[in-house]
Chains A and B, each alone.
Chain A
């Protein structure tokens, strides 16, 4: 499967896992299930994973499509530097986060899904991928040429007016062809 950037799929999977973990956690806490403490952890972990995974990475090749309103998240995630840039760290982080979810049925699905996301991230890391923030492109204006700043003060030299006036006597010398048609009947 040639040019695939595994991180893109890992990202979708991890975001979905975050949501599933969060939902399972909410169910566990709201229903006051046995082991609800694990569910409460799952709520926090789910929110954390969602926040981490929401900003999409910039693709190495091709156009990157942002998620709506991801700019603020991009800035936050970027602030952690190598911790969030490196996918090995993410893989191990997700693997670690998902473990407590396995202790209660409501969160087990989130745990397994996050585990799978972690494996895909590991594959991405092995292939050398890393997370790049998508930042708005700064408009680079063309550098203004120096000559524009010093307009000429004087008109260009012209021959004296007598010479510029058309010499009606000498038709050959004063006639010229217009490069473009100046009549409107063409």
Chain B
């Protein structure tokens, strides 16, 4: 329990605040419409379906305001920068942006469902009242029309159509109805194409369909323009509902009961969403400006195992370790921007990305790059970024555990290179005293470009007598009988048969309990930062281990878990 607080405390707090605001809005607006005297006559026609529709509407306003913010990555990057002086925990929250975006989306979907169902009841009841099927008061209220001295209450005015079709007719001919149907449809399409299966396999479908949010927000802003939720207005002399509700025939004829006047509420949704919409527009503008900036090629290298390395130069580009950029190639697709972690160190005069073949866009990019002749410039590229991730924090921890699975090792390539440069320059900013590096990979091919880096580091560290600064363990998870035989035959060689490094390759997956025990034993009083770039499942395992091996006592070892996410 105590470990949970250490690791999850702040996230839980944010979620609690968000949920509390949602609940407050729902309950407040429910009672506003359920008890407010100005809605007395409206409630007479609609019953409790009125507050049931308006309460989720308030929650929807709030959440539609929030949903755009977690995906403004330039804004988030700015906020992360300004939090540099604040504690570690604050900055970690900004990594969970996508999780929050999804949570808000679920809330929007749920509230849309409640809102729509309540309005179905509302329309049915309005229709019945208009048809004269309810009591005398309802009929009298529904008869009120928009003339020179009356205003309508019941927005359903039409009677000369098949009564079963009137609600459908109303839905498609009023602003509220039509926008409601259109934006709900847009929301459904966005949700079905955002399901994990579709998103992971066909990113393009997900990305293009997600742009339906433009229609969603446009419709949302105009949804209330028709002002069809009516409340009673003050008249002179005042209309006393308690008395007058029993004398609908006498309205306008006796002094106590002038004809009641109604007006719709001022549409408020635009006030909630206009700010985030402007911010998001600025975000897209920044991306566009960055796209227009010129990107030069320094080198294009085809690595084994269908990995492409691009070394690029851009004016005024400044990066930190482990950051990522979004790359766009108009020759392949105008609209698509794909994220890649940079594998170069800030100390170098260029930045590089290693791109693996993992779908349509990356395959086409590799094809195009293969055809570029030696020394020539490649196709025009747009680069947006750099954007910060948890890896920036790695030098703040005295002890760091870096875990990279497969191609997920890329941010750590950047970190290790940076360490090498900092060492050479004896940079005093380096707070780190010890790094544990774990690389998990299925096949040996992918080792090659990284193995070179590790070999250089190994040599460098030995020359300076800093052999125990970096402890690295390589795990080959895709071994089979032929691997095992090969290793058995060469077991007595000094260097590893697979990588040529002094550190031997392990086979199979790491036993995390042992690893965490070892780190804790060797660093009994430190704060250890754990960084992962790899699959979700591994992230969950590591999160649990961090919680398990952390001590609430601040003088003892504590593990903080950071996950990279795309």
Task: Spell out A's residues near B (CB within 8 Å).
Answer: 1-5, 8-9, 12-13, 16, 20, 23-24, 27-28, 31, 33-35, 56, 59, 62, 65, 102-106, 108-109, 112-113, 116
Identify the closest chain A residue to B172 (Cβ): A108
Instruction: Give 1 or 0 for each of B272-289: 1 = CB within 8 Å of chain A CB.
Output: 000000000000000000
A59 to B197, CA, bound (A): 11
User: Are B117 and A34 within 8 A (Cβ)?
Assistant: no
User: Are A105 and B188 within 8 A (Cβ)?
Assistant: no
**What's the nearest-Cβ distance from chain B to residue A185, in Å?**
15
Q: 23 A-B contacts, Cβ less than 8 Å apart?
A: A3-B202, A5-B201, A9-B192, A9-B193, A9-B202, A13-B188, A13-B189, A23-B113, A23-B117, A24-B120, A28-B120, A33-B120, A34-B127, A34-B128, A56-B197, A62-B201, A65-B197, A106-B120, A108-B181, A109-B181, A112-B181, A113-B185, A116-B185
List B contacts of A3 (CB < 8 A): 202, 359-360
Of the 9-residue stretches B135-143, B163-171, B240-248, B387-395, which lies at the interface with chain A? Answer: B163-171
User: Are B204 and A4 within 8 A (Cβ)?
Assistant: yes
List A contacts of B202 (CB < 8 A): 1, 3-5, 8-9
B407 within 8 A of A: no
List A contacts of B184 (CB < 8 A): 109
Query: Contacts A59-B201, A65-B197 given; 14 further ones with Cβ under 8 A?
Result: A1-B205, A2-B204, A3-B202, A5-B201, A5-B202, A9-B202, A12-B193, A13-B189, A13-B192, A24-B120, A27-B120, A34-B128, A104-B168, A116-B189
B229 within 8 A of A: no
Identify the closest chain B residue to A67 (Cβ): B197
User: Are A31 and B168 within 8 A (Cβ)?
Assistant: no
List A contacts of B205 (CB < 8 A): 1, 4, 9
State which of B124, B171, B181, B198 has its C-beta within 8 Å of the C-beta of A12.
B198
**What's the nearest-Cβ distance from chain B to residue A38, in Å?**
8
List A contacts of B470 (CB < 8 A): none
B116 within 8 A of A: yes
**What's the nearest-Cβ distance from chain A to residue B264, in Å?**
21
A153 to B120, CA, bound (A): 85
Instruction: Give 1 or 0 for each of B462-483: 1 = CB within 8 Å of chain A CB.
Output: 0000000000000000000000
**Inter-chain residue pair count (beta carbon < 8 A):** 86
State which of B113, B123, B128, B208 has its C-beta within 8 Å of the C-beta of A105.
B123
Instruction: Give 1 or 0 for each of B158-201: 1 = CB within 8 Å of chain A CB.
Output: 00000111011001000000000100110011011101011001
Instruction: Give 1 or 0 for each of B203-234: 1 = CB within 8 Å of chain A CB.
Output: 01100100000000000000000000000000
Task: Spell out B's residues near A (CB within 8 Å).
Answer: 113, 116-117, 120-121, 123-124, 127-128, 163-165, 167-168, 171, 181, 184-185, 188-189, 191-193, 195, 197-198, 201-202, 204-205, 208, 359-360
Main secondary structure of the interface of B (DSSP, over half): helix
Identify the closest chain B residue to A62 (Cβ): B201
Given known A-B contacts A8-B197, A8-B198, A65-B197, A105 and B185 have beta carbons under 8 A apart: no
A108 to B164, CA, bound (A): 12
A103 to B169, CA, bound (A): 11
**What's the nearest-Cβ distance from chain B to residue A61, in Å?**
9
Identify the closest chain A residue to B164 (Cβ): A35
**What's the nearest-Cβ distance from chain B to residue A67, in Å?**
10
A104 to B123, CA, bound (A): 12
**What's the nearest-Cβ distance from chain B to residue A20, in Å?**
7
User: Are B195 and A12 within 8 A (Cβ)?
Assistant: yes
Please indicate which of the listed interface residues B120, B189, B193 has the most CB atoms of chain A within 10 Å of its own CB: B120
User: Are A103 and B185 within 8 A (Cβ)?
Assistant: no
User: Are A31 and B120 within 8 A (Cβ)?
Assistant: yes
Of all A-B residue pairs in the complex, the 9 with the closest CB atoms, nearest first, are A105-B167, A35-B164, A2-B360, A12-B192, A4-B202, A105-B168, A13-B192, A1-B204, A34-B164
User: Are A105 and B171 within 8 A (Cβ)?
Assistant: yes
A95 to B192, CA, bound (A): 19
User: Are A27 and B117 within 8 A (Cβ)?
Assistant: yes
User: Are A34 and B124 within 8 A (Cβ)?
Assistant: yes
List B contacts of A65 (CB < 8 A): 197
